[in-house]
Amino acid sequence: LQELQSSGRGRFLLEHAAPFSAFLTDSFGRQHNYLRISLTEKCNLRCQYCMPEEGVQLTPKSELLTTQEIITLARLFVKEGVEKIRLTGGEPLIRPDVVDIVGQLYKLEGLKTIAVTTNGINLARLLPRLKEAGLNAINISLDTLVPAKFEFIVRRKGFHKVMEGIHKATELGYRPVKVNCVVMRGFNEDELLGFVDFTKDLPLDVRFIEYMPFDGNKWNFKKMVSYKEMLDTIKQRWPELEKLPCEASSTAKSYKVPHFQGQISFITSMSEHFCGSCNRLRITADGNLKVCLFGNSEVSLRDHLRSGASEEALVQIIGAAVGRKKKQHAGMFNISQMKNRPMILIGGYKMYSHVTFFFSPEPALMSFPLCQDALQNPPNSKQWGHTFSHWLTLRASCCVFQKDPSSMFDTKCLEASPVGQASVNCQSKDASPGSCTEVPHASDHLTHTDEEGRATMVDVGGKPDSRRSAVAGAVVRLGEKAFGMVRQNQVKKGDVLAVAQIAGIQGAKLTSQLIPLCHNIPLNHVEVSLSLDEARYAVVIRSSCQTWGRTGVEMEALTAASLAALTVYDMCKAVTHDIVIEEVKLLSKTGGQRGDFSR
């Protein structure tokens, strides 16, 4: 308000404000003065949680809104009382005429705010022209502050471009620059403190958004990190965190660490919805009006516009749609079962909500544990692998496992002792700790099955703790062309060796979720190395795992080598499918009752 009063344009708008349109007021008295317009369905990233690497089926260009149609509809909504328009996508900044669209919107009398939500890749290059055209608010989507994690998830390089865009926005005087971060358990909730610290020296508003359900994403409560949980985590680090006042229609609950330049906010779409003060409407890139982000009800304004409908008729159509808007969340009792178009085709808060559309729907995989070492130690740039355990879990073959509701870990996984281990009873009341020293002998049955042949748990509770390690290997034969591209780091998906190394480390941590009868054990150390064998045009993988516990880590080492090999295949398959994964094998192990092994 102060900014509007300080400018000539602002004073004019305030003095000549018209009564709010009844057509944009719903049956619950909510006045909709905020319109989000999707400029395109296209995006210049290929986020694994949003779309396959080859993209999604796009609406034919002839069915998308033209620039003139966008301006015509915007003018109509502004005339009826809309004061803020946000341009979304897809990625709005890849539309060639986005600067021109902003310029034309700026000329609309009554429009107070023109905003954009972007992934930030093109922001630094376009922002000076966008600001000159009239753009006065920016939201940048960023889910991680770790460059390697960013590249793995979006399948493109560009983290430095996003950061450059953020800094360019602050240099050009945008206050605040809003950074949207959807928080999801097992993915990035470990970066909460890092994002808060990001506001220390920059005028940012980092907005933590609760994970929301959309059609296809198999939303599950356990994936959502609630506002109160996030707030508690942050207050443990900054107990002096103070709450800021907010407007009645605001979707955000804002806080600030004293003496920090920026602030943080929480978008509590799920735990404390703000439907009662909702003032938003959306127009999709193909011209459909959505009165609720969570609903599948849409009205094609494009069709009416192209059929020659008058302005009065369009206003009546819009008013009827607004009048049907439900009290909350599209009137659905269980929004996790809702039907809706994919998030990238809506232009909502972020594309992140489409997270598992192309992955396994198996309910047992909808929750996932953080590694114990990660819970005990703050993450850093070298330890970030556990935060995207979800992605590698879903990329692998799904398995069903039992969940233990009393444990902070979701799995009740089983691992039998190696075949050939002696049968030892350490549960006897006469047995003392560490007294299980039976000499191993050959077994004549599978220890993972009972007498009737059913899978069963082998109790390792009586085994003594000991230091255990294992080394495994694998070879991926790529062929001359793909090998050369890997060596020169010319594969379009990114650095093959770096991503495969990360995948292997994470694979070791997820072994109990991938192999049904493996224990969920804490790993003291995981190391994965990849080297190039020019004679065979091959990538040679070597993995090692260590723990202190009652069961070995052979499976963890083998899983690490296998996942690294599969990742090399995945990143190179666009070059050739003539790739052979071979020599996946255990190289050595130490510890345990059966003694050491070396191939």
Report the alpha-carbon distance of residue 575 to residue 538 in Å, rounded.
Answer: 15
Contacts of 488 (CB under 8 A, 6+ apart): none
For residue 153, what are the CA distances in angstroms to 124, 217, 419, 424? 22, 16, 39, 46
Q: How many CB atoms lie within 10 A of CB 337?
A: 10
* Whole-number Å distance between alpha carbons of 12 and 172: 25
Number of H helices, E strands in the chain: 17, 17
Q: Are 410 and 565 in contact (CB under 8 A)?
A: no
What amino acid positions are annotated as catalytic residues?
A: 570
Position of tokens 């508003």? 205
CA angle 443, 448, 454 (to 5 degrees): 120
Q: Residue ranges of the alpha helices (H) in 428-574?
A: 480-487, 496-509, 511-514, 554-572
Compute how many other C-beta atoms are within 10 angstroms of the C-beta atom of residue 576. Answer: 14
Provide the residue type at 87 as one letter.
L
Rounded to whole angstroms, how far apart are CA atoms 522 and 2? 55
CB 572 within 8 A of CB 478: yes
| Cross-strand pairs, 181 | 208
Measured from the Cβ of residue 496, the count of other Cβ atoms closer than 10 Å reads: 25
- Among 295, 281, 355, 345, residue whose Cα is nearest residue 91: 345
Reading the block at residue 289, the tokens are 């009006």
All residues at 6 or more sequence positions from 28 whose CB lies less than 8 Å from its CB, including other chains: 276, 325, 327
